[in-house]
């Protein structure tokens, strides 16, 4: 995969559009229905960490461009993550404080680029969601849903949390439980719950290029990511997604692993290969 993308520009010059189609065919699942419409007018994205929204940044920009009202709720400041050398790590306590501040700033910049209407960042402990009373976290989530009144929520999947992060799994699990318990309540605003996922071709590539996937992804297929039921075409919004990824400066090594060469290849080329974001609808 790295070989393919390392020589992508050369291949395109030599073979033209056919090379794009070939590379794209190795990644995408065209059997998944494509949509550019969401039910209702208010879509809320709920994730544990700053930079999680990158998994669906193209979709967010599509929605804001079409006039949907968007909300991003991020439950932690991401203070337990890597620093990319941007924060002094000699004092572990101060490192967390300063990194949390930096990642808040990064996410605020991303929200402006993507056109997000409402951004709220909470102070739950990064990589410590497992230590929080589930009822406390569920109550907080219910309060935020009641406050923002979204008709659609987007989060991670509740099986493995995209690549296995415990915070991802638990937040998605609690949201799924809330949705299933409350969806028949006429006062509950959420009509659809979508989970970010990947098609099998992308998973196969992820195993090859991402240490996170190799180390965390379950070996049994039935425990893996749910099959996508919907895709969003993001090519027109690729430049915004690229800019958003670049703004998460402290997390660049991770983003380089998850989206190789995103900042080395022109967006009009890159996002004709990585041209979709995938979701599964919770029933």
- What pLDDT shows up at residue 172? 98
Task: Render pLDDT for 161-218 as a digit per residue (tens, 0 to 9).
Answer: 998 899 999 999 999 999 999 999 999 999 999 999 999 988 888 888 777 778 777 7
* pTM confidence score: 0.91
- What pLDDT shows up at residue 212? 74
Total number of domains constituting the chain: 1
Number of neighbours of residue 105 by Cβ within 10 angstroms: 14
Task: Render pLDDT for 74-98 as a digit per residue (tens, 0 to 9).
Answer: 999 999 999 999 999 999 999 999 9
- What pLDDT shows up at residue 34? 95
Q: For residue 92, give the CATH number of its domain.
A: 3.40.50.10320
Say yes or no to pLDDT of 16 above 60. no
Q: Is residue 107 classed as helix, strand or coil in its secondary structure?
A: helix
Mean pLDDT, the chain, integer:
90
Q: Which of 29-38, 82-91, 147-156 has the lowest mean pLDDT?
A: 29-38
Say yes or no to pLDDT of 7 above 60. no
Contact partners, residue 274, CB within 8 Å, separation at least 6: 27, 238, 259
Q: Per the structure block, which two tokens stand in for 40? A: 């209702």
Q: What percent of the chain has pLDDT over 90?
A: 70
Pick the closest to residue 65 from 105, 36, 107, 35 (CA basis): 36
Residues spanned by the domain of 60: 2-34+41-281
Say yes or no to pLDDT of 43 above 60. yes
Let me know how long the chain is.
283
Task: Render pLDDT for 244-283 as a digit per residue (tens, 0 to 9).
Answer: 999 999 999 989 888 877 888 888 888 988 999 999 999 9
- Write the DSSP string, 162-195: HHH-HHHHHHHHHHHHHHHHHTT-TT----EEEE
Which residue did the predictor score with more confidence, 6 or 211?
A: 211
């Amino acid at each position: 995969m790295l070989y393919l993308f390392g020589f992508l520009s050369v291949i395109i010059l030599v073979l033209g559009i056919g090379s794009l189609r070939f590379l794209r065919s190795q990644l995408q699942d065209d059997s998944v229905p494509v949509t550019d419409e969401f039910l209702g007018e208010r879509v809320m994205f709920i994730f544990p960490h700053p930079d999680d929204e990158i998994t669906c940044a193209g979709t967010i920009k599509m929605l804001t461009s079409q006039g949907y009202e968007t909300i991003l709720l991020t439950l932690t400041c991401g203070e337990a993550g890597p620093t990319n050398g941007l924060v002094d790590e000699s004092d572990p306590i101060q490192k967390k404080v300063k990194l949390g501040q930096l990642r808040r700033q990064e996410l605020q910049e991303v929200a402006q680029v993507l056109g997000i209407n409402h951004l709220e960042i909470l102070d739950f402990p990064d990589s410590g969601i497992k230590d929080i009373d589930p009822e406390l976290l569920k109550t907080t989530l219910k309060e935020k849903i009641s406050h923002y009144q979204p008709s659609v929520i987007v989060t991670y999947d509740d099986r493995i949390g995209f690549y296995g992060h415990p915070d991802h799994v638990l937040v998605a699990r609690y949201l799924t439980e809330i949705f299933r318990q409350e969806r028949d309540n006429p006062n509950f605003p959420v009509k659809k719950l979508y989970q970010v996922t990947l098609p099998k071709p992308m998973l196969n590539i992820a195993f090859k290029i991402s240490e996170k996937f190799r180390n965390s992804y379950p070996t049994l297929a039935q425990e893996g990511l749910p099959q996508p039921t919907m895709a969003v075409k993001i090519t027109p919004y690729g430049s915004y997604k690229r800019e958003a990824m670049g703004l998460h400066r402290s997390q660049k090594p991770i983003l380089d692993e998850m989206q190789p060469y995103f900042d080395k290849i022109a967006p009009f080329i890159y996002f004709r290969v990585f041209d979709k974001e995938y979701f599964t609808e919770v029933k």
